[in-house]
Amino acid sequence: MIFKILITTAAMAGISGVLALLLVLAERFFANYGECKITINDEEEFTIEGGSSLLSSLNSQKIFLPSACGGRGTCAYCKCKVHEGVGPILPTEEPLLTEEEMAENVRLSCQVKVKQDMRIEIPEELFNIKEFESEVDKITDLTYDIKLVRLKLTEPKEISFKPGQYAQLNSKPYNGVKESVSRAYSIASPHFEKDHIDLMVRLVPEGICTTWVHDYLQEGEKVKFVAPMGDFYIREDEGEMIMVAGGSGMAPFVSILEDMARKKSKRKMTYFFGAVTKKDLFYVEEMRSLEERIENFTFVPALSGPEPDDDWDGETGLITVPLEKYLKSHDDLEKSQGYLCGSPGMIDACIKIMKNYGMKSDRIFYDPFG
């Protein structure tokens, strides 16, 4: 009896799989949605051939919505309001949308397919995002797994951005990888150096874009990127800036701190940077230079697993350890702001500590990557 049930279950699963495959093939090869008109903010219109995602359809018209994950439906940055011409919310969208967003017709543009005329709404500032052509000016090893890539702009020749924002770098096919992908990297260069951008790219095992950067990208090569994107930037205030980062999360803070140095800011700033061993630590000399150029800036590096020959006499433990030790002695945290960039796990842990010691949620800003 059990054997018959297993056979029946397997047969049904097989039939379901075949039907799903046939639906995918039918959608891919036989669905013809014809020309579809997309109206943006009740002002701008364009017509495209239906069948692609809303995100890629907008990209084809040089209208770029943020998409740190490259359209894989995991970052939820590509949200926009779709008022007409779309079906029900998809299972891939639901976990990334709040009830309020659903009520306001917010959708993930990378998951929504253009099948008919659409009427959408996007923030006006997104029209300032452009595609840039550039040439790789230099590639520098910062650590064994992080490279600094300088991209010299060729068209347009200048860029404007807020310190802390990011660019989406477009990879090229290589060694069996047939597709180009887009990945987000924070801009590390100062905003007042307008003819280039610096990116800090950490090698992710089996990462399509990071492998391309680390193993195949060459100086002098032509590459494209889209920028500026993101809302991780400094909010003007009088309170202390408490910053936390790890690994390539260093990038936006280099840009931010260079801006503060140029402005001769007197605002109190404390920057906690976490690494595992001394070989994972970088930009220490640059941070010490910034300590001299910014009146109230302090850099606090910490190693979670220093090796015996590191000869390390600084802070040790996960970055949450020196952060919490500092916050315990802080008597005015309600007026401070938190800025964090790094892995989601690190950010979640640091936010919890900040809140425990009195920092308000609306004064904590972060840029997770993983």
- Under 8 Å CB-to-CB from 287, ≥6 apart: which residues? 257, 271, 273, 299, 301
What gap in Å lies between CA 159 and CA 18, rounded to an integer? 50
Backbone angles phi, psi at 366, to 5 degrees: -150, 155
Backbone angles phi, psi at 174, to 5 degrees: -160, 145
* Neighbour order of strands in the sheet with 222-229: 182-186, 166-170, 222-229, 130-141, 146-155, 196-202
Taking Cα atoms as reference points, which of 308, 309, 257, 311 lies closest to residue 283? 257
pLDDT at 31: 63
Which band of pLDDT confidence, cut at 50, 70 and 90, is reported for residue 67?
A: confident
* Residue 308 CB-density burial (10 A; 0-12 exposed, 13-18 middle, 19+ buried): exposed
Q: Is the dihedral of CA 282, 283, 289, 295 positive or negative?
A: negative
Strand partners, 130: 227
CB atoms within 10 A of CB 101: 17
Domains, the chain, in order of start with CATH, read 35-126 (3.10.20.30), 129-229 (2.40.30.10), 241-368 (3.40.50.80)
pLDDT at 229 over 80: yes
pTM of the model: 0.84
Q: What is the pLDDT of residues 165-180, one digit of tens each?
A: 999 999 999 998 998 9
Q: Is the dihedral of CA 153, 253, 282, 190 positive or negative?
A: positive
In this structure, which amino acid lies at residue 191? H
Q: What is the pLDDT of residues 260-308, one digit of tens each?
A: 999 999 999 999 999 999 999 999 999 999 999 999 999 999 999 999 9
Which band of pLDDT confidence, cut at 50, 70 and 90, is reported for residue 5?
A: very low
Taking Cα atoms as reference points, which of 233, 166, 234, 156 lies closest to residue 201? 166
User: Of the ranges 30-39, 148-157, 358-367, which one carries the lowest mean pLDDT score?
Assistant: 30-39
CB atoms within 10 A of CB 252: 28
Which band of pLDDT confidence, cut at 50, 70 and 90, is reported for residue 30?
A: low
Q: What is the pLDDT of residues 319-370, one digit of tens each?
A: 999 999 999 988 778 899 999 999 999 999 999 999 999 999 999 999 998 5
Whole-angstrom CA distances from 52 to 26, 71, 187 are: 14, 12, 30
| 358: Cα separation from own chain's centroid | 27
Number of H helices, E strands in the chain: 8, 17
* Neighbour order of strands in the sheet with 44-49: 44-49, 35-40, 118-121, 79-84, 106-108
**DSSP state for residue 145 in the 8-state scheme:** S
Q: What is the pLDDT of residues 69-91, one digit of tens each?
A: 878 888 888 999 999 999 999 99
> What token pair was written down for 220?
């002098």
Which regions of 29-105 does DSSP assign to beta strands (E)?
35-40, 44-49, 79-84
What gap in Å lies between CA 187 and CA 259, rounded to an integer? 13
* Neighbour order of strands in the sheet with 315-316: 315-316, 297-303, 269-275, 241-246, 337-342, 364-368
What gap in Å lies between CA 250 and CA 367, rounded to an integer? 11
Whole-angstrom CA distances from 316 to 10, 157, 271, 307, 322 are: 54, 44, 15, 11, 8
